[in-house]
Structure 1
Amino acid sequence: MARSSTLGHPRIGKHRELKRAVEAYWAGKIDEAALQQAGREIRQAAWAVQQAAGIDLIPCNDFSFYDQVLDAICLVGLIPERFGPAGSTVSLPAYFAMARGAPGVPALELTKWFDTNYHYLVPEFDAPVAGIASSKPFEEFAEATAQLGRPAKPVLLGPVSLLLLGKHHTRPLAEHLRGLLPAYVEALRRLGQTGAEWVQIDEPVLVADRTEDELALLRAAYEELARVDQRPRIMLQTYYGSLDELSWSRVMALPVDGVGLDFVRTPVNRELLNRHGFPANKVLGAGVVNGRNVWRANLVEALELLEEIAEHVEVDRIWVQPSCSLLHLPHDARLETHLPPEIAALLAFAEQRLEEVVTLTRGLNEGRSAIIDELERNAEIFRVALDSTRIHHRPTQERLAALTEDDFRRSSPYEVRAALQRRRFALPLFPTTTIGSFPQTPEVRSARARWRAGKLGDEEYWGFIREQIAALIRRQEEIGIDVLVHGEFERSDMVEYFAEQLEGFIVTEHGWVQSYGSRAARPPIIFGDVHRPKPMTVEVSRYAQSLTDRPVKGMLTGPVTMLNWSFVREDLSRRDVAYQIALALRDEVRDLEAAGIAMIQIDEPALREGLPLRRQEWDEYLDWAVRAFRLASSGVADETQIHSHMCYSEFNDIIEAIDALDADVISIENSRSQGELLRAFLDRRYPRQIGPGVYDVHSARVPSVEEIESLLLKAAEILDPEQLWVNPDCGLKTRRPEEAWPSLENMVEAARRMRERYLARVG
């Protein structure tokens, strides 16, 4: 008999219990015991939901207080020396220090997890490997097994993925791997001795391009793990894409007991299975429902896929499962009671995915007749949706079809625009600015919540917002910031705010998905053609600019980020959806310019995360992604300055695309990498202006003037000082005012010192 399995469950809690507990602990409002109890309750609720749904193989150790990669770092004792000795067990304060930093101690670098909107903490391999320094996997296995009444399936991030996702490899990779393996050997031995039957070892790096040498590391690692006495059986799990010919042959030859494959993201795994078959001594984990998007599975098509798989693999060696962890989905679509019925019926969040997995497992085991009612109900949902008039908007379709090359480029080259903009703005050297958002205080959040609930009238609410904007403009002027922002007090999220005002989007009430740590977002859902019924930001931007003679940036979220941070419709290409969003933003940009806004920032922090995992597919993606940005930004006069912001990207990978955006000014993450990311811009001879972030807004600390000045000096050694802007790494929404303002004051002072230093040097 086939078995049902999941790879991981959402861990923030159905009502964001994790966020409240962790942030209360950070604030000193609860102690460690209370935080641990909150974690147990979240885990136990997740196991109960999966057991009630009928899942056979339920994962454990998929929960985390911050990040699963950080958990793996602690498991193997890969603790950078700046956080102190690992000892026998990493303490909770040390754990969070690695995630968030501490006074005088920078956090681990934060970057995108493959092509998702999740962020992970990057392992540092110049640290010594201390061996097992966390008992978490063993404690959670015992906890889950006691609750379920049968062994749970522990989940570990695999040694090769941990290695290849890291940085600061000071020795050959094979040596680093040898340093990691003793901890994995001991972890498998301990799990086996305590009753684990299977362990899921995740190796997602295998769906990206891998060299022969890297695949040799994989072989060496699993030959070592296979020799462990009393170990559980190993399910080597891949996701987010497919293997290729080379990695297929290497993975199928590994001494593991099962291989998990994603059959949703691309057709390649299906093609490889049909071409090569599957080893007779392994279980196949068949990911046949989408773990990353919210649309219901077409059960007939999914069952046909399983039946095809069963031609190559005996049914009793098949696990039916999602394509990846359900970490990327909200908890339960049944909580969404305000959505149009025909759209709501199409949604499948994590709990609905469990139902689909169990239904498909029964259909594979017992035949279609056993699930005929479920198949008919599923088909009816899609029939109703196809008839919905909410999906298609003919004027948008016609406008898209009428685009020409002129719509994708500015009227003059950058050199011409830059000269006009210098005369218009007359900014000093090292001009200072911020990325956009300012702290969302309890008063701001309360006012917005009361307004949304109908407890605060429009006039009173917008009067409150104007007061916040006016106070912010005054404070920015007082501390000497050169280019101001209005603070985005009216926005709860940089994508959600626009999605609420654009047709073709819907926004959920409870659709929270973890981004990193305690941070979660509610990705909007794109279900139909996107268009803008009215201006979205013009009034607040015009008001903010009326309060000052300094430039105030108009703030928009770019089309590629809107796309990548949303759940996207599947009946239209991602390129065309991006172009639809870009056209809506193009209208907004023109209206901002007409309202007197001379600088307009179109943020694209998600540009790189949309890169396909296979390099051969990059050019196609980057071509339409760049064109989408240019479509949104190119309808303005030369004197209007277009900015963009990007954070936590490997800029070497996309430097040509960043150049091709043709933005006049970009701001980027830089502080955690200590300036190393700027080398990409030097190598490219990047000609435009750039603001390398001078302090990390994700750490609860105030950087000193000297620390910021040091980063600026490094930047000025790499790039022309006349190119450089001075700004934080990212928006300040999540920081407290008592952190944000001293940091900005120090930033302005560091910029002043840099001006004096540079002017003294040149004359």
Structure 2
Amino acid sequence: MNSLLPTSTVGSLPKPTWLAEPGTLWSPWKLQGDALVEGKQDALRIAVHEQLRRGIDIISDGEQTRQHFVTTFIEHLSGVDFEQRETVRIRDRYDASVPTVVGAVSREKPVFVDDAKFLRAQTDRPIKWALPGPMTMIDTLSDRHYKSREKLAWEFATILNQEARELEAAGVDVIQFDEPAFNVFHDEVQDWGVATLERAAEGLRAETVVHICYGYGIKANNDWKATLGPEWRQYETSFPLLQQSTIDTVSLESHHSHVPVDLVELLRGKKVMLGAIDVASETVETPEEVAETLRNALRFVDAENLIPSTNCGMAPMSRNASLEKLSALSAGAAIVRAELGA
């Protein structure tokens, strides 16, 4: 394990074609019952093996056991009706059929803890588990009960904190909260978004990360990015707030995006998980391209605080390209490590 510039993925990797339909989000499972349980574990094993083989230092589950990074968590909670679906606008970009909150939400049993224990048994390296953040959860369902985004966010923050504490007890070293909604609802981020995120991470000894990206490489997201102009400065509102927060690490999109890299300066003192791999393109980066992205960032973040990563999850990508990209990430980080004399 490299202690300087340790590499990581944001979370998801494509699933094997025998487990789920490739190239799609919310892809239905191809197996059922015991075969599905075994198939998910086999897919998780493969994801770990490939990350290790390709030089990734902080190992994730590749989100192999869940259909979607938000809704799979929500469907294990009470107070949410998955039969009663409504079409809502997600992050002001695309419509999706989502479940409805019909009563008080609560978590009656752990959601991912068994999967995390299984991951822990596969490797001695540090492991990371991703959870949806409170604001992104709210944005991925319809609420008929609380009638207040903020009220529901606080409820979800409490539930996420329960899950995170049990994941930590199961041996998870890094707990990441995914908050792509932070790039859209800037007033809410300021009013209660960061506060509810801190509530979700309260009391954890595990390293905490918030991941804020511009979304998977799907058409709706790519079309939205095309409207953002030559410079994407959305991070300007959230980074100063997060720099003051209790969260340890901020994960951001950088390579092939229009994010001015000097915005990283706003996080000075925090760890920065820097996206050096584009997830909106199947073109595999060269190690030198990765190295250049990292060098640019090092003007604004201390080397001991930099974690080279992917821009976002890679679930909708082809498996081959995504795995080659992991190799490129490791090789690029190794170039810069050598330059730093490590």
Larger radius of gyration: 1
CA deviation string 1:34-78 (max 9, x = no partner): xxxxxxxxxxxxxxxxxxxxxxxxxxxxxxxxxxxxxxxxxxxxx
- Please give the alpha-carbon distance, in whole angstroms, between the structure 1 residues aligned to 2:96 and 2:10: 19
How many residues were matched structurally?
Answer: 318
CA contact (8 A) 2:133 2:177 kept: yes
- Please give the alpha-carbon distance, in whole angstroms, between the structure 1 residues aligned to 2:83 and 2:281: 29
CA deviation string 1:73-103 (max 9, x = no partner): xxxxxxxxxxxxxxxxxxxxxxxxxxxxxxx
463 and 621 in structure 1: CA distance in 2 versus 1, 3 angstrom threshold: closer
Partner of 1:567: 142
Partner of 1:580: 155
The structural deviation recorded for 1:448 is 5.0
- Please give the alpha-carbon distance, in whole angstroms, between the structure 2 residues aligned to 1:606 and 1:689: 21
The structural deviation recorded for 1:594 is 1.3
- Please give the alpha-carbon distance, in whole angstroms, between the structure 2 residues aligned to 1:666 and 1:439: 24
**1:504 partnered with 2:79:** yes
Partner of 2:268: 686
The structural deviation recorded for 1:625 is 1.4
Partner of 2:67: 492
**Counterpart mapping for 1:74-93 below 5 A:** none
636 and 510 in structure 1: CA distance in 2 versus 1, 3 angstrom threshold: closer
Among 109, 112, 132, which residue is 1:537 paired with?
112
3-state SS of 1:464 partner:
helix
CA contact (8 A) 1:675 1:711 kept: no
- Please give the alpha-carbon distance, in whole angstroms, between the structure 1 residues aligned to 2:78 and 2:145: 17
Partner of 1:626: 194
3-state SS of 1:708 partner:
helix
Scaled by the length of structure 2, what TM-score is found? 0.85
Partner of 1:645: 211
The structural deviation recorded for 1:546 is 0.7
The structural deviation recorded for 1:593 is 1.2
Partner of 2:29: 449
Scaled by the length of structure 1, what TM-score is found? 0.40
Among 326, 331, 334, which residue is 1:752 paired with?
334
Partner of 1:465: 40
Code of the residue aligned with 1:538 in structure 2: it is V
- Please give the alpha-carbon distance, in whole angstroms, between the structure 2 residues aligned to 1:467 and 1:541: 14
- Please give the alpha-carbon distance, in whole angstroms, between the structure 2 residues aligned to 1:533 and 1:736: 36
Partner of 2:217: none
545 and 564 in structure 1: CA distance in 2 versus 1, 3 angstrom threshold: same
The structural deviation recorded for 1:552 is 1.3
Partner of 1:671: 255
**1:609 partnered with 2:184:** yes
- Please give the alpha-carbon distance, in whole angstroms, between the structure 1 residues aligned to 2:336 and 2:9: 18
Runs of at least 5 residues in structure 1 that lack an aligned partner in the other structure: 1-425, 612-617
675 and 610 in structure 1: CA distance in 2 versus 1, 3 angstrom threshold: closer
Code of the residue aligned with 1:539 in structure 2: it is D
**Counterpart mapping for 1:201-350 below 5 A:** none
- Structure that is richer in strand per residue: 2
The structural deviation recorded for 1:689 is 0.5
**1:657 partnered with 2:223:** no
- Please give the alpha-carbon distance, in whole angstroms, between the structure 1 residues aligned to 2:195 and 2:338: 40
- Please give the alpha-carbon distance, in whole angstroms, between the structure 2 residues aligned to 1:519 and 1:746: 32
CA contact (8 A) 1:495 1:524 kept: no
- Please give the alpha-carbon distance, in whole angstroms, between the structure 2 residues aligned to 1:680 and 1:499: 33
- Structure that is richer in helix per residue: 1
566 and 672 in structure 1: CA distance in 2 versus 1, 3 angstrom threshold: farther
- Please give the alpha-carbon distance, in whole angstroms, between the structure 2 residues aligned to 1:567 and 1:510: 8
CA contact (8 A) 2:116 2:129 kept: yes
3-state SS of 1:702 partner:
coil
The structural deviation recorded for 1:698 is 1.3
**1:716 partnered with 2:284:** no
- Please give the alpha-carbon distance, in whole angstroms, between the structure 2 residues aligned to 1:473 and 1:647: 23
The structural deviation recorded for 1:657 is 2.2
CA contact (8 A) 2:86 2:100 kept: no
3-state SS of 2:59 partner:
coil
- Please give the alpha-carbon distance, in whole angstroms, between the structure 1 residues aligned to 2:132 and 2:146: 24
735 and 509 in structure 1: CA distance in 2 versus 1, 3 angstrom threshold: farther
CA contact (8 A) 1:675 1:714 kept: no
Code of the residue aligned with 1:524 in structure 2: it is P
The structural deviation recorded for 1:685 is 5.3
**Identity across matched positions, percent:** 28
Code of the residue aligned with 1:669 in structure 2: it is E
The structural deviation recorded for 1:509 is 8.4
Among 168, 185, 188, which residue is 1:593 paired with?
168
Partner of 1:734: 316
The structural deviation recorded for 1:718 is 2.4
542 and 560 in structure 1: CA distance in 2 versus 1, 3 angstrom threshold: same
498 and 692 in structure 1: CA distance in 2 versus 1, 3 angstrom threshold: same
- Please give the alpha-carbon distance, in whole angstroms, between the structure 1 residues aligned to 2:54 and 2:123: 14
The structural deviation recorded for 1:508 is 5.1
The structural deviation recorded for 1:573 is 2.4
* Larger RCO, structure (CA 8 Å, separation 6 or more): 2
554 and 429 in structure 1: CA distance in 2 versus 1, 3 angstrom threshold: same
- Please give the alpha-carbon distance, in whole angstroms, between the structure 2 residues aligned to 1:508 and 1:669: 35
501 and 662 in structure 1: CA distance in 2 versus 1, 3 angstrom threshold: same
